[in-house]
């Protein structure tokens, strides 16, 4: 059943290059102290999932960057991170752009699923592919660091530990096959607000970090996920009573741990990779009880 959900990152057609940008979930998220640059130090285990934004790149166009946005809301023109990433790439290769990019958004904004960061990374990879790998991996990662904390993760994967402000990526070679029910409510969470109200707990950070590192060193990333360690969850739920109530109700319905991705608002429940039927049952129960939109996703393989 998982094979039905898996799609390649790149496909070529008569129209151009189709690229897919996968969402992510945080299987763990630990937050430490605030840095001089205003960001927090963090440690997170992230996994790409089979939910994708899509981008069609057409190069036989007039000079300039033309961006068309379809699907879920996304800012148009130069305010879009996709547009900014295109401009950054062309500046880096010292070439005048001739590109039309059609972005189809399927990953909701403000959900903690990394849609914008994934889009940016995918633009870098796709343009580099179109321009014959003119930028090496090291330079691509530097460009990613200029665009956002999570962007570098999406150049790698599908499973990695990210540290610093999120830009330092250590790929995890051990696979973690899973299915998940992903609950996509209408609640939009402000990452800035959640981090702004977060209270440091360095003792808890140190304790959880030690446990997670021990699990990963033994190739037991499955045990990391079972810890349900997201240090932003308490703050996020405290700031948004509606999200806290939704999490409580879904936990009562499913009888499973309900995790928050990033600072929210996406909630998810992890099952074994072969438990597709069980995932379908949970999906129906959530829809019948809460009327909430949910989808079944799997771990992505690239």
CATH code of residue 197: 3.30.70.890
In terms of domains, do 128 and 30 share one?
yes
- For residue 212, is pLDDT > 90? yes
Query: Residues with Cβ < 8 Å from 68, sequence gap 6 or more?
Result: 100, 101, 102, 103
In terms of domains, do 16 and 125 share one?
yes
- Using one digit for the tens of pLDDT, what is the confidence trace for 125-147? 999 999 999 899 999 999 999 99
In terms of domains, do 217 and 291 share one?
yes
Q: Which two structure tokens, joined as six digits, stand for 225? A: 């996920």
Q: Whole-angstrom Cα distance, residue 78 to residue 81?
A: 8
pLDDT at 3: 81
pLDDT at 188: 86
Domain of 100? 2-171
Q: Whole-angstrom Cα distance, residue 49 to residue 182?
A: 10
Q: Whole-angstrom Cα distance, residue 114 to residue 136?
A: 24
Question: At which residue do the structure tokens 């998940």 appear?
Answer: 180
- For residue 83, is pLDDT > 90? yes
- For residue 76, is pLDDT > 80? no
In terms of domains, do 240 and 134 share one?
no
Domain count, the chain: 2
In terms of domains, do 31 and 135 share one?
yes
Q: Average pLDDT of the chain?
A: 95
Name the domain boundary from 108, 143, 171.
171
Name the domain boundary from 113, 143, 171.
171
Helix (H) / strand (E) element for 215: namely helix 202-217
Residues taking part in catalysis: 24, 150
In terms of domains, do 182 and 59 share one?
no
Q: Which two structure tokens, joined as six digits, stand for 169? A: 């990526």
Sign of CA dihedral 126, 131, 136, 139: negative
Determine contact, residues 132/121, Cβ cutoff 8 Å.
Answer: no
In terms of domains, do 151 and 9 share one?
yes
Backbone angles phi, psi at 281, to 5 degrees: -65, -45
In terms of domains, do 16 and 41 share one?
yes
In terms of domains, do 13 and 146 share one?
yes
Name the domain boundary from 171, 203, 224.
171
| Count of helices and strands (H, E) across the chain | 10, 11
Q: The domain spanning residue 19 has which CATH number?
A: 3.30.230.10
Q: For the chain, first and last CA: distance in Å?
A: 18
Nearest residue to 234 via CA among 38, 31, 33: 31
- For residue 27, is pLDDT > 80? yes
């Amino acid at each position: 059943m998982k094979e039905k959900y898996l799609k390649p990152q790149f496909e070529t057609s008569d129209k151009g290059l189709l690229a897919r940008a996968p969402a992510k979930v945080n299987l763990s998220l630990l937050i430490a102290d605030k840095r001089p640059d205003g960001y927090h130090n963090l440690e997170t285990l992230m996994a790409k999932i089979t939910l994708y934004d899509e981008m069609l790149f057409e190069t036989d166009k007039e000079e300039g960057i033309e961006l068309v946005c379809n699907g879920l809301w996304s800012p148009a023109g130069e305010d879009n991170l996709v547009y900014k990433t295109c401009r950054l790439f062309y500046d880096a290769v010292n070439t005048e752009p001739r590109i039309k990019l059609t972005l189809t958004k399927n990953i909701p904004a403000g959900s903690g699923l990394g849609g914008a960061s994934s889009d940016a990374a995918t633009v870098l990879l796709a343009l580099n592919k179109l321009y014959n790998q003119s930028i090496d991996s090291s330079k691509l990662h530097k460009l990613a660091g200029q665009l956002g904390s999570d962007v570098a993760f999406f150049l790698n994967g599908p499973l990695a530990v990210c540290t610093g402000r999120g830009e330092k990526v250590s790929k995890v070679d051990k696979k973690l096959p899973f299915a998940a029910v992903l609950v996509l409510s209408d609640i939009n969470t402000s990452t800035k607000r959640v981090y702004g109200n977060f209270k440091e707990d360095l003792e808890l950070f140190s304790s959880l970090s030690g446990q997670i590192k021990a699990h990963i060193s033994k190739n037991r990333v499955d045990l990391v996920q079972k810890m349900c360690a997201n240090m932003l969850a308490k703050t996020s739920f405290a700031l948004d009573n509606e999200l806290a109530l939704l999490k409580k109700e879904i936990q009562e319905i499913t009888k499973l741990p309900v995790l928050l991705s990033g600072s929210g608002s996406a909630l998810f429940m992890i099952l074994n990779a072969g438990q597709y039927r069980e995932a379908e049952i949970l999906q129906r129960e959530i829809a019948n009880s809460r009327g909430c939109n949910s989808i079944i996703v799997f771990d992505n393989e690239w």
